[in-house]
A and B are shown apart, each in its own frame.
Chain A
């Protein structure tokens, strides 16, 4: 059985029909000329390779009240994603082959997008000894990304060993860069705003010092390093320097760090509490510029669902984190595409090709071309929509974009030729 995906514009270029059979693109022909057993009609919307998220918290096992693998992958599909990397800070922590296989299998059963488990770097995220990285790499889940995300691998020796060890199976350590002693009790970005609001500061140097150390370690042992949720202008400078030096480092920025500033903390509404914290206007601008010039390689959501009570409280008592999967592409369109800073091909690179490459996911992030898997995200970049937290597919409601008008709507998502989303509705 073949299908034709009619009248879509790959990377925003000329309109075509995509003919798909057995999950693979078998022909690309001028719009209106493709033939197949069934068709999906579109209206000249942009088609991108299915988006790949390198940084997703699906919360299962352990916190199914906040999110499940099923609800989280549904949110992902609605956001245009065909693959997500599930972070390891679950309960129990994903630090053994059995744990990561469970997540991988449940993702496959849900079927909304591919779930690639991230393995913990250290056992129990305790930062004391390495988890069984090789066993996770060799498991059915084929883990290639390792992270203690939520916590920093702050011990320099342990970080060095992790970077070295994962070379054996082409893995990468994705570091949550946060010097713990400099951020004890930290609540928000440290600066004029934290001084005024009386909230304990999370200084930029606590991120930058770890990144600087880690790129030097990666250079020394010849490993690759991935920097999670980079948030400061100073971090951008360090990554730029490291890349110029030939160090094998990649970096991600989150949609919220591209769109929002610490000014929102003045509301004391914990929906804006996140780690690393929202920074200044100058940091936001530096991140956008770095994403445009490739210093920052990818956008990753750091989708972090939390139950309502974790945010419906005073600032200091609230959990850190924001939803991201269903709003990520809209944020990128508004901040990067509409401003002329990224072309659609570059959006595909930052949100699909590069994250798949960093995660070593062979059949994701592939170009829209004959012979390639039909993992596709079809987006109407000219339609606005308003975020209603109650209507999100995520089990949680902690979006920082509630009631905001967002740019661009995902109309359809295809996973190996199967529609997971059509007309903006989950299939």
Chain B
């Protein structure tokens, strides 16, 4: 089946000025690849500050002016140019952003959902979509500041669902919600996938991602290091040593930390960015590491888990 979205070797960098005149180019995302097919939830998991949100902004074509993007974005088999993204975003491609600050603070929820349409059909649609997400009729009259965190999230999802998107991008949709509310929100995404949308879920919470995602792309220091099936995690079929370390660090598993910290943008050495912390590193890890197919998924590692210890 043709994927809804294909991202191939995407890189995003920023041009910054230091001390006024010194220019430097800061690579934030490097060589990111992933695919999303219709009916599927794909999670991108990485720690906060690792540049995950930029992926969403890159796909939508709303990166800030001082950034450069390289690589290929293919949407429904055709290149996703900035012009095409501008036409599709908010319609076929919808974003569920991080928080209430993405709503217009001076506009009530109802008109915000209807986007300027005032006919009876639009009213019925907005009412139906609010009801679908458990929000009463009175929500239409509320301003964003009158919504709780969980309600605001549901309004944002309602706004995206109203367009019946083919690709839905959700950026950190759960922080600040308790487990039950977060579970409900994630359930809505799964539902939209069942109705045929491709869902890209960007999050730092591996445990929550595993509850709804079919596949998981793991992000480390701006690179995708592994694409795995969600079922690979509990089954012990992980490929990359970092993914394995993430899994082992969960409180429900070993709660075992590894030492060191993730390098920030521009701090990575040559070769594998995880090598300094990796139990399986070898001399060749300082060279170029390709993304290779392994056990139905993909891994960017020369000495993946399960293989011989170097």
Pair from one complex:
no
Which residues of chain B have a CB within 8 Å of any CB of chain A?
Answer: none
